């Protein structure tokens, strides 16, 4: 796979835009796909905002920012991605939705395309079982924020071609990230460990043990986390966290994965985090 190969990213939310940023920074052309043209454009603006932040922090130059953004093209129809060498699906965490989107991709792309599903809680094997070419699918779970975090969990389906596994490991390394190949299990490794911890932090907040700021300080200054739990939840989105937690709870039937009532109340109130302007913290911009 060369640096000139085109990569399509399906989904323009926080994860999709972050993955698109990481891929574009590696030198590849990126097609950022959403069937709603306004959301596709909004996804590219998210990439632009992330790159602008990188310039302010001194992580890249203004010229590098412009060159990277030029490699990201928003598109709103699947036939436009027919020549993509890799398609990364980052749509909502719903097996039927992901399978349907990937089946549509199969109809327009070549038989050699490599399909990545960014699921963190669903069975990659089950998604592959819905496809015409299940051997071309593999799971790649990017840690949030996808443009900055180095770890990518690679989860082959039972049907995945070994060559696809090797190509995917090389692809991830070319992004400057660290791949770890795991068994296809719910939550993989990071969410299996992280989601119960996040829920425990919310329960501590709900019980009045400490404020969100104090818990985040304990997590960063005491435990060495690079970001506080509540800052991370606001970045991911409380609606996304609740969906991930419920998916894991439904599969494991373990109370540690059940989202606390506070999460449901915040989602019902539209307090989703950064994307809504209010979550555990308030955001002016």
> Is 153 noted as a catalytic residue in this protein?
yes
Query: Do residues 156 and 182 make contact, with C-beta atoms less than 8 angstroms apart?
Result: no
Which distant-in-sequence residues (6+ apart) come within 8 Å of 187 by Cβ?
Answer: 120, 121, 195, 248
Is 199 an active-site residue? no
Query: Which is catalytic among the residues 89, 123, 141, 271?
Result: 141
Q: Which of 26, 120, 123, 199 is catalytic?
A: 120
The answer to whether residue 118 is catalytic is no
Taking the C-alpha atoms of residue 192 and residue 278, their distance in angstroms, rounded to an integer, is 27
Cβ-based neighbours of 173, under 8 Å, separated by 6 or more: 179
191 is catalytic: yes
Q: Select which of 116, 118, 123, 153 is catalytic.
A: 153
Query: How far is CA 184 from each of CA 75, 96, 128, 181, 189, rounded to the nearest angstrom?
Result: 31, 18, 12, 9, 10
Q: Is there a contact between 5 and 85 (Cβ–Cβ < 8 Å)?
A: yes
CB atoms within 10 A of CB 69: 18
Q: Which of 201, 195, 232 is nearest to 218 (CA)?
A: 201
Residue tagged active-site, from 191, 199, 245, 247: 191
Active site residues: 120, 141, 153, 191
């Amino acid at each position: 796979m060369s640096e000139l190969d085109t990569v399509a990213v399906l989904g323009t939310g926080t994860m999709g835009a972050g993955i698109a940023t990481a891929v574009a920074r590696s030198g590849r052309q990126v097609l950022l796909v959403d069937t709603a043209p306004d959301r596709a454009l909004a996804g590219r603006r998210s990439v632009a905002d992330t790159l602008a932040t990188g310039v302010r922090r001194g992580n890249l130059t203004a010229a590098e920012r412009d060159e990277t953004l030029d490699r990201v093209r928003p598109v709103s129809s699947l036939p436009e991605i027919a020549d993509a060498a890799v398609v990364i699906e980052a749509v909502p965490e719903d097996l039927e939705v992901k399978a349907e989107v990937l089946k549509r991709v199969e109809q327009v792309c070549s038989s050699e395309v490599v399909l990545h599903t960014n699921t963190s809680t669903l069975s990659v094997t089950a998604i592959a079982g819905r496809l015409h070419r299940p051997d071309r699918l593999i799971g790649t779970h990017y840690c949030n924020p996808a443009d900055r975090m180095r770890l990518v969990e690679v989860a082959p389906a039972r049907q995945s071609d070994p060559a696809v596994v090797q190509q995917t490991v090389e692809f991830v390394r070319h992004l400057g990230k660290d791949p770890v190949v795991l068994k296809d299990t719910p939550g993989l490794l990071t969410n299996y460990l992280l989601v119960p911890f996040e829920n425990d932090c919310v329960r501590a907040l709900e019980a009045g043990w400490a404020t969100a700021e104090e818990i985040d300080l304990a997590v960063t200054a005491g435990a060495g986390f690079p970001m506080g739990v509540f800052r991370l939840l606001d970045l991911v989105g409380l609606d996304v966290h609740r969906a991930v937690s419920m998916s894991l709870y439904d599969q494991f039937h373990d109370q540690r994965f059940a989202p606390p009532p506070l999460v449901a109340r915040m989602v019902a109130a539209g307090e989703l985090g950064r994307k809504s302007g209010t979550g555990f913290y308030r955001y002016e911009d």
